[in-house]
Structure 1
């Protein structure tokens, strides 16, 4: 039976493409917000949620990290999706008629140089494919959207330019979340954790040193405001290894004693480009 998978955005969004990349043949559920995607998986309306956590050009998706802190869902997989941005408009519209461009803030940021060179005004939308749908529904002639070629094809729109991202090595990393953890243990795994540090000198240094002592490679570290006390932060860390392995068990035990809060998001097989 095909898995039911939720993603944020309309049909044709990069989240849908990432979900199909990881789950070919899945039954997909498009949802408007990231919070809606988390809720659908938490209430088991779907088996999995596929959510973007970072882009190779624009960096992390802050809202998602805040939701990861609160959810009981577990990270069970990841996927790197190559992003090819297109400038999309209604059929018959010429590129010289375009004055403004709608898209998700991350997509606008990834095409910042192109928009500046073309003197196009960037306008925010909640989703890339949703921007295409909005331009079609409202029959806008002086506006375009930044989205995938798939979105243009799904909504019967015209691609005016392709590959408009500022860097061609443009990838978005998505996490696959599920109500239950992945119990498999093997090589080429990664573990994700979140923690807050005690307010003593060298606290973060001491935590990171535990990974170095066990030769566990950190692949990402990100800080996010706690939103409770000004200038206090939660840290998100990805590192190589499975939580079922001896060295990872040791480091988690050591880190737990040095943090005021520790959450293990899950262990999952590393994705490849």
Structure 2
């Protein structure tokens, strides 16, 4: 019999949740280590406990128990082996409600449809609103872009991920196929302005200037599809938008030029956010996302990276963001208060290729926890292994 431990986070307190599960011989993960994790996760404990329980097998027969080690104790009804099955827990209904930022025709909506083809995708004007809608149970999921192969990280969304109480339960890689859109009959020589999201403008700048020879003003919008909608709604015959061909169909625009991104290998990575944890497996490639505080200076970065190297764990992403709660740290030199050094404090976001159910990942997190005062696990989730076909999301 093995134990499955799932860390949960509650008001910066130390809390543990231990689940007793079958061994790996029964296609369930061995997961026995307990992490003493400090984190800022504020949700209602009884609701969380209603979703995660435990069971074990004795002499081939299933029985159940719940072990909750914290200052809170709740007696829960036992679940059967079927309840712990991954497919049963995450069998999303056909009308799963998925929040995304933008308007119909946005790439975020395409990512939502790739993740959940039969979902009800609900648009919101801001990323933070999408986060809050999930937290308030108004929608079931949110799909949020975190990074682009050409434009880099979307820093604002990393900050939102830290300050909101959601888990990452999946990821979506979406090829981005930008088009130059305008009202029917408009020609390139009529254009004096091009509008779109700042990242889209940056991703197409070389093509627009050097290949198409456009001498125009660039204006930023909050969303690519919203730029297309704006051109159509205001009948702007001197303005083009950078957006998808899907947006052109929705808003009655013509596609002047297909594939105007500077590099054809333009891909955006989205993460799927939910209120509940996803129980990790070891039978498929998993990725785990964490954040730690570099509260002892940048020298800690080398130590943390060394831990993963020694455990033979591949990192797919590292990102530094300001630690806004304590942005600057002062350190006295030689006990002389008047002579102090200053350094900024940062949060280090890490994605690594391993399931938190794997022993090597557990050992790595245990060591990392010893190095820092703060560690949060956003989630351990299946990697998106689907082939990248730009044509399917054009």
Determine if the TM-score, normalized by the shorter chain, exceeds 0.5: yes
TM-score of the aligned structures, taking structure 2 as reference length: 0.67
Q: Tell me which of 52, 61, 79 is aligned to 2:154.
A: 61
Q: Tell me which of 272, 280, 283 is aligned to 1:176.
A: 272
Greater length-normalized contact order (CA 8 Å, ≥ 6 residues apart): 1
Deviation sequence 1:171-200 (CA, Å, 0-9, x none): 000001110111141230000001111325
Cα distance in structure 2, aligned partners of 1:144 and 1:205: 47
Instruction: Tell me what 2:314 maps to.
Output: 217
> What displacement does 1:201 show?
6.8
Runs (4+) of structure 1 exceeding 6 A deviation are: none
Going from structure 1 to structure 2, the CA distance change for 1:87 and 1:201 (only over 3 Å counts) comes to closer
> What displacement does 1:93 show?
1.3
Instruction: Tell me what 2:361 maps to.
Output: 248
Cα distance in structure 1, aligned partners of 2:217 and 2:257: 16
Q: For the Cα contact (< 8 Å) 2:280–2:355, is it kept in 1? A: no
TM-score of the aligned structures, taking structure 1 as reference length: 0.97
Following superposition of structure 1 onto structure 2, how do residues 1-273 of structure 1 map, counting pairs within 5 Å?
A: 1-2=93-94, 3-117=96-210, 118-186=214-282, 187-200=284-297, 202-227=299-324, 228-230=326-328, 231-272=344-385, 273=388
Q: Unaligned regions of 5+ residues in structure 1, if any?
A: none
Query: Matched residue of 1:18: which SS?
Result: helix
Query: Matched residue of 2:373: which SS?
Result: strand
Cα distance in structure 1, aligned partners of 2:140 and 2:372: 32
Cα distance in structure 1, aligned partners of 2:379 and 2:142: 14
Query: Matched residue of 1:36: which SS?
Result: helix
Q: Unaligned regions of 5+ residues in structure 2, if any?
A: 1-92, 329-343, 389-394
Count residues in correspondence. Answer: 273
When the two chains are superposed, the root-mean-square deviation of aligned CA atoms in Å is 1.2
Cα distance in structure 1, aligned partners of 2:280 and 2:346: 32
